[in-house]
Structure 1
Amino acid sequence: MAKKGAKKPAKLTRVSPLKPDLRGASRLVQSRIHAGLRSATLSNRSMLRFASSAMLVILALAFVALWLGGYLPTVRQSVTDFKQDRLMAMGFTVERIDVTGEGRLNENDVRAAVGIYEGDYFFGADLKRAQRNTESLPWVDRAVVRRLWPNRIVVQLVEIEPYALYQTNGTVYLTAHDGRIIAPLSAANESVASRLRIFTGVDAANHAVSITQILEQFPAIWDATQSLTRHASGRWDLHFAEGMVLRLPVGDEAEALQRFNSVKARLGTDYGVIDLRLGDRLTLTAKTASEA
């Protein structure tokens, strides 16, 4: 039993000379580890940035070298050829070319104008050039050339409808509504020409529509007309099947035709020329012996 008033012994703390304060040491070690990890991370990022920069510099130098040396087109072509070869090996080639609407055209001529053949690269077909070439063919008004997945090229043609026959320099041509020459008249298209009128003279093909629209108002006169001649002044002569010539004025064709239509039945066919150019009179010329 302790004596009253005696001092309590001091609390002793065991301190190992080898392990002084372990908690402080642990925090120090951990902070150093974290600092090392951060340093390593920063070092890796810096290395990546450096490598990326170096790669960009190398690529830029390579590009400049190719450009200065004039090799860029060759490189691009090589890449394109490689891609094309791979796609063609996968089956992307033209296997069929269908042509529709070539009633008056030879299909082989159309195919030659299109310029796309079986075995060609499907995506490399130049459709715009094929369309231009096809529309330059006789009889073709419009052409549509398109790809049809997975391996077909389709060519659709809209042909020109012949409107008239145009005779110049001893040759007769089929012409379109707007005066365009379609093709020379031949045995192959005579059946088309049988219902058409012949237009001759100065710029006659380009004015065929305007005079035809007037004459169609007088069916009997139009049916009897075989050919029409346009003069430099712009006026027309109508040539009838029986050899009679009807001379029209400039600008008053409808009125002159109306006057002629009212007396036509009484005139008969014994006249070589009927001149309607003067508005207040009708001049008749008898047939010559050669015309009778």
Structure 2
Amino acid sequence: MATAARNTPSVSGETASASKTASSRAEKRNKRTMWTGIAFLLFVIAGLVVGAIKANQYLHDEQQMPVQVIDFSGEYQHIDITKLERLIRKAQPGSFFALDVNDVFELVESQPWVYRASVRKKWPNTLKIYLVEQQAVAKWNEDLLLNPYGDTFNDEGVEMELPRLYGPGGSEKTALEGFNSMHALMATTNMAIDELSLSERFAWQVQLENGIRLNLGRQDFIDRLQRFIDVYPLLAQQEKAVRYVDLRYDTGVAVGWNDDNATNKES
């Protein structure tokens, strides 16, 4: 019995030592597994980053994904499509994916003869552009054109036979509205407006295609133009050609003849 009591502590010590060794080995295995997992995760992340970089480079490489076709549509006569395509390719030299549609839109709409435009991409290599061309209705101060809304744009050297309108800056819409009203009234005759001038004080003067100049003043210019239409058959019967007619009178007109003699005639 005494001997058995002495052997029991020795067995317990061996068991504790074996348990400690097993625990240490398990901890080492867990660490190895953890670091292996971390290394694998880092490898996967690195692969994804490299793949993303390569994919991005591929998609933005003009040689791999070029914009091969710029397809223009719409009705236009004066827009230089060749020049416009050259400008687009110079401003957007990248690939199909790198091309910025908003930048192309702004570039296209900044061209003088483009009134409106729409731009979109079409997979895999096409840029589609729909154009609405400016409509020129009159020349403005010799160096610009007016569209039907009174907006000015550059003619880019295009020669067109149009009525000539003159006036101070900012009066484009007023001048065009006045011209349209006068033109509609003159359409009832065989006469047409060749030139219209609006002074700094907004007084109207009209040059007709037959050479007669009309001074309409600032107010009631439509009524005064109608007065000229009414009196013109009488003036046309005269032997002398009419040079100008001043209509700034309440009840009559002043007529200038080609020999520079002026006479007053009641309307």
**Which TM bucket (shorter chain)?**
0.5 to 0.7
- Are the aligned partners of 1:164 and 1:208 in contact in 2 as well (CA < 8 Å)? no
Deviation, 1:218, is 3.1
Does residue 276 in structure 1 map to residue 261 in structure 2? no
Residue 248 of structure 1 is aligned with which of 216, 233, 245? 216
Deviation, 1:239, is 0.7
Note closer, same or farther for the CA distance 1:208–1:197 as it changes in structure 2 (3 Å cut). Answer: same
- Give, as a single letter, the amino acid of the residue that structure 2 aligns with 1:273: Y
Deviations along 1:32-88, whole A, 9 cap, x unmatched? xxxxxxxx9xx99xx89xx7xxx8xxx9xxxxxxxxxxxxxxxx9x88753323446
Question: Which position in structure 1 is the counterpart of 2:129?
Answer: 155
- Give, as a single letter, the amino acid of the residue that structure 2 aligns with 1:225: I
User: Sequence identity of aligned pairs in percent?
Assistant: 22
Distance 1:125 1:175 in 2: 33
Deviations along 1:166-188, whole A, 9 cap, x unmatched? 23xxx4432222333333474xx
Residue 99 of structure 1 is aligned with which of 62, 72, 79? 72
Secondary structure at the residue paired with 2:251? coil
Distance 1:256 1:118 in 2: 56
Residue 112 of structure 1 is aligned with which of 69, 72, 86? 86
Distance 1:141 1:118 in 2: 22
Secondary structure at the residue paired with 2:118? strand
Deviation, 1:119, is 8.2
Distance 1:255 1:87 in 2: 67
Distance 1:222 1:99 in 2: 42
Question: Which position in structure 2 is the counterpart of 1:146?
Answer: 120
Q: Which moved more, 1:109-118 or 1:232-241?
A: 109-118
- Are the aligned partners of 1:96 and 1:151 in contact in 2 as well (CA < 8 Å)? yes
Note closer, same or farther for the CA distance 1:278–1:148 as it changes in structure 2 (3 Å cut). Answer: same
Question: Which position in structure 1 is the counterpart of 2:192?
Answer: 224
Does residue 214 in structure 1 map to residue 181 in structure 2? yes
Task: Provide the TM-score with structure 1 as the length reference.
Answer: 0.62
- Are the aligned partners of 1:225 and 1:241 in contact in 2 as well (CA < 8 Å)? yes
Deviation, 1:283, is 1.8
Residue 153 of structure 2 is aligned with which of 182, 185, 188? 182
Note closer, same or farther for the CA distance 1:113–1:207 as it changes in structure 2 (3 Å cut). Answer: farther
Distance 2:201 2:114 in 1: 33
Question: Which position in structure 1 is the counterpart of 2:164?
Answer: 198
- Are the aligned partners of 2:60 and 2:97 in contact in 1 as well (CA < 8 Å)? no
Task: Provide the TM-score with structure 2 as the length reference.
Answer: 0.67
- Give, as a single letter, the amino acid of the residue that structure 2 aligns with 1:201: G
Deviation, 1:92, is 4.5
Deviation, 1:251, is 3.2
Note closer, same or farther for the CA distance 1:185–1:278 as it changes in structure 2 (3 Å cut). Answer: farther
Distance 1:162 1:81 in 2: 50
- Give, as a single letter, the amino acid of the residue that structure 2 aligns with 1:254: I
- Aligned-residue Cα RMSD (Å) equals 3.8
Does residue 126 in structure 1 map to residue 100 in structure 2? yes
Note closer, same or farther for the CA distance 1:182–1:252 as it changes in structure 2 (3 Å cut). Answer: same
Distance 2:149 2:93 in 1: 40
Does residue 237 in structure 1 map to residue 205 in structure 2? yes
Secondary structure at the residue paired with 1:207? helix
1:26-41 maps to which residues of 2 (within 5 A)?
A: none
Distance 2:251 2:155 in 1: 42
- Are the aligned partners of 2:186 and 2:192 in contact in 1 as well (CA < 8 Å)? no
Distance 2:186 2:179 in 1: 10
- Structure of larger gyration radius: 1
- Are the aligned partners of 2:179 and 2:196 in contact in 1 as well (CA < 8 Å)? no
Give unpaired runs (5+ residues) of structure 2. 1-22, 43-48, 261-267
- Give, as a single letter, the amino acid of the residue that structure 2 aligns with 1:208: A
